[in-house]
Structure 1
């Protein structure tokens, strides 16, 4: 057995259908009584009908509801939310939603020190990581700090039923991406690798069922379980080319987060294949039905089953932005198992823009 290092992130997880009813207990356990609720404008009504009654019944009326969350966590939105938080004298933060809402909660807690509790409604996984990505002046930057990690996460599968089929698919692939990179991260270890493979298996099995039958409870639960495992991996190891590209593309060109991850994933893996351990690739392929021993093929098969869009141009990116993306990505590259070369990187981004299948010919 090779030597390794592994840090367990200290967060409390409440998992199961109907577990939202335990949120008041979690707040009281921490001696909290005035939570500020966060959501997107689209999920404001869901909070009003599903979350507020539970808190009010437990004599925990929230300090307020900030429902202007948007993707990529712009610092301007954070400043606005911070002013609102102070005006309401909140003693904690409860984020209800996906990566955008949880990201804002992280941005607020690192600035205030207030406890952060999450109710994830997608498979993005931000709730299990001590990582914060913020956007300012067209640039997305990330930082990692144990204080960023939310303290309590309530996984209630019932809140994922409102997630549209298309977003369910791309959000799930976003989670898969966390685990794929964890398998070959610089700080990869046997513990995160086990979690990663189990998470990928769960999502690869459940996502096609969700696309075909959106209200399948067993599939939704399995997907949420897989997303939790994949996010735990991302919170424990470093990121590589895939996440760097997604941060650059999303932050620079305002591309949708989950869809960008979905498009980039097979291309980033294909680029790295020549420098990856064959044993790792075999295990990854084994977690992906239809791979025939080829991990990149396995991802392509999964994306085909899900019927997701494959080109960044479908989300508004112009071909002329390819070179700009290369420049930004090369400025502060993440560690990657294969050296990131300009021409190869440009072709990876061009293929992502065009929506072409991933190929291992670079």
Structure 2
């Protein structure tokens, strides 16, 4: 039997994982040889950013709580100007994907190093991927210049994440691992990480929903999210991510919730062309992986439909056309009629079905 050929490239990053690890931030700044940190967050997490500033004392030159969804270009430009005005020599990002996105955009424009302090399960901190929004469209690029130099995972920083947000953020992370299993450039290392990540999150998220203070479940979820982030940053993605970026950028839909809704349907769409992947997923999710992911969303009270997020029904055709506009690899060819069915079912909140 011919053995498969594969390529594996590891992204460089220093990762500190545990509980109470935020305390190591000053030492990590010293290791990087930096002294003037601008701390970025969303407006809702400014309290967390101020806490980091107090930890750093005089080494914190400013807090910039202006990160928003989908990383608008004008917001990034304003943040760069603030960093230059403050004379910052490092960006410290505390938050989820929106905050990490802003930090990456600053790094791309200024060359500043980054230290990421994740508080959700987005996984963006482990990737060289940046998506920015302008003119109602989200454009994504892969550039090693946006990969954070240091990531500090502190389970304590996730304990305040509401169970509902934990659920949607966690399913968003699972999407990275699912698509990594059938990526065009998949490899054995990433596939092993992906399956371990899916299993960890699938058991952790319902436990967090049942008891938000379950530290063991929070640990498992953050561990799974870390692995999912590695998957996202190491191999290409396909229909699921393309469609979510299209929907998020074009209709201003929340990132994690959109991923949680689309994932079961995208997997059902691709299932006929990935029988070996589906068999692996049965080992961690059960007999019907697509339905299991849909049921996981219901178990953690994630939104079931794009309509709930505010997407108008008349946007279905536009979303389909945008997804078809720029050709990209997917294990199953993009078929306009089947793609319309996928989006329609996701819009109405129906369970996934063979297409």
Matched, 1:256 2:254: yes
Report SS of the residue matched to 2:152: strand
TM-score (norm 1): 0.96
Q: For 1:328 and 1:280, locate their aligned partners in 2 and report how far apart those are by CA, in whole Å.
A: 27
Q: Distance in 1 between matches of 2:291 and 2:137?
A: 33
Q: Deviations over 1:156-214 (max 9, x none)?
A: 01111121111100000000000000000000010000000000000001000000100
Does 1:287 pair with 2:284? yes
Quote the Cα distance in structure 1 between the aligned partners of 2:297 and 2:156. Answer: 25
SS in 1 for 2:234: coil
Aligned residues between the structures: 353
Deviation at 1:341, TM superposition (A): 1.1
Between the aligned partners of 1:250 and 1:274, the Cα distance in structure 2 is 27
Q: Who is 1:173 aligned against? A: 171
**SS state of the match for residue 123, structure 1?**
coil
Where structure 1 has 5 or more consecutive residues not aligned to the other structure, the ranges are none
User: What is the distance in 2 between the residues matched to 1:295 and 1:176?
Assistant: 12
User: 1:7 aligns to what?
Assistant: 9
Whether 1:324 aligns to 2:343 is no
Indicate the residue corresponding to 1:55 in structure 2. 56
Q: Judge conservation of contact 2:298–2:304 (CA < 8 Å) in 1.
A: no
The question of whether the paired residues in 2 share the 8 Å contact of 1:285 and 1:298 is answered with no
Distance in 2 separating the partners of 1:83 and 1:349 = 40
Q: Does 1:40 align with 2:38?
A: no
**Which of 308, 312, 327 in structure 1 is aligned with 2:306?**
312
5+ long unaligned stretches in structure 2: none
Deviates more, 1:93-102 or 1:306-315: 306-315
- Is 1:66 matched up with 2:68? no
1:203-218 maps to which residues of 2 (within 5 A)? 203-218=201-216
CA contact (8 A) 2:96 2:122 kept: yes
Which secondary structure does the structure 1 equivalent of 2:22 belong to?
Answer: helix
In the other structure, the counterpart of 2:340 is: 346
Distance in 1, matches of 2:327 and 2:238, equals: 8
Distance 2:231 2:173 in 1: 10
Work out whether residues 244 and 333 of structure 1, in 8 Å CA contact, stay in contact via their aligned partners in 2. Answer: no
User: TM-score if structure 2 supplies the norm length?
Assistant: 0.98
Moved beyond 4 Å, runs of 4+: none
> Which secondary structure state, in structure 2, belongs to the residue aligned with residue 63 of structure 1?
strand
Contact 1:282 1:295 in 2 (8 A): no
Please give the root-mean-square deviation of Cα atoms over the aligned residues, in Å.
Answer: 1.0
Deviations 1:256-315 (A, max 9, x none): 000000000000000001111x22211112111xx2x22212212322322221101101
Residues in 1 aligned to 2:295 and 2:307: alpha-carbon distance in whole angstroms: 21
Aligned CA distance change for structure 1 residues 333 and 310 (closer, same or farther; 3 Å)? farther
**C-alpha deviations, 1:211-263, integer Å up to 9, x for none?**
01001111001100000001100100001000000000000000000000000
1:161 counterpart = 2:188: no
